[in-house]
Structures are given as C-alpha cells and as structure tokens.
Structure 1
Amino acid sequence: MAVPKKKTSKSRRDMRRAHDALTAPGVSVCPQCDEPKQPHRACPSCGFYKDRNVLDSED
C-alpha cells in the first residue's frame, strides 16, 4: 500500500483545498412577476421563461 514518505505541509494542504469552496448560485429577477429566479431557468413562481408560460402555475 502506498504511504507518503514526508508529511504534507499545512501550506501545501491548504493550496490543494483552495478550489473546494462553494459558490452561491446566480440570481436574476423575473421580468413577469419581479421574483428572484436563477438565470436561464423557468420562474418557479409564475412559470414563465422567455415571455412564454412553460409551467402550470398554482394561481
């Protein structure tokens, strides 16, 4: 079984983990109902996408 010959330093360990941070999803405003939604997705509150109703809304 492979075993490291030397201890990994804190600097090298943290440099490896530098790309593991989570990023918040982008948020835009729906032009129909002015609710926040993710870009390039149908609005969950009104069901519109690119000026068309693509989801059945509960209203």
Structure 2
Amino acid sequence: MAVPFRRTGKTATRKRRTHQKLTAPTLVVCPNTGEFTLPHRVTPNSGYYKGQLILEKKESK
C-alpha cells in the first residue's frame, strides 16, 4: 500500500481547498412587485417575464 513519504503541510491543503466555497445567487428586483427573484426566470409571485404576463394565478376556491 502506498504511503506518502512526507506529510502534506497546512499550506498545501489550504491552497487545494480555496476553490471549494459557496457563492451567493444573483438576485434582481422584480419591477412589478419589488421582490427579489432569480434573473431570466418567470417570477412565481407575479407571473411576468420581460414585462409580459406568462403565468396566470389560479383562483382559490
């Protein structure tokens, strides 16, 4: 079984892990409702995309 000749140092380990991080999602403000939504998506709260109504809200019984 292969065993490393030397111990991996803290710096080498941390350099390898620098790319493993979370990124915050990009958010835009919906011009109709003023709420934050993901870009290039139909807003579920209003149903608009690029100023056009795409989804109609269902009426509750």
Query: Which TM bucket (shorter chain)?
Result: 0.7 to 0.9
Q: For residues 55 and 2 of structure 1, do their structure 2 counterparts lie closer, same or farther at Cα, with a shift above 3 Å needed?
A: farther
| Aligned equivalent of 1:22 | 22
| Aligned equivalent of 1:41 | 41
RMSD between aligned alpha carbons? 1.8
Aligned-pair identity (%): 42
Name the SS of the counterpart of 1:14 in structure 2: helix
- Structure 1 stretches lacking a partner, 5+ long: none
Name the SS of the counterpart of 1:18 in structure 2: coil
Q: For residues 55 and 7 of structure 1, do their structure 2 counterparts lie closer, same or farther at Cα, with a shift above 3 Å needed?
A: farther
Under a length normalisation based on structure 2, what TM-score does the superposition of the two structures give?
0.77
Q: For residues 55 and 5 of structure 1, do their structure 2 counterparts lie closer, same or farther at Cα, with a shift above 3 Å needed?
A: farther
- Structure 2 stretches lacking a partner, 5+ long: none
Deviation at residue 44 of structure 1 after TM alignment: 1.8
Is the radius of gyration larger for structure 1 or structure 2? 2
Relative to total residues, which structure has the larger helix share, 1 or 2? 1
Name the SS of the counterpart of 1:7 in structure 2: coil
Under a length normalisation based on structure 1, what TM-score does the superposition of the two structures give?
0.79
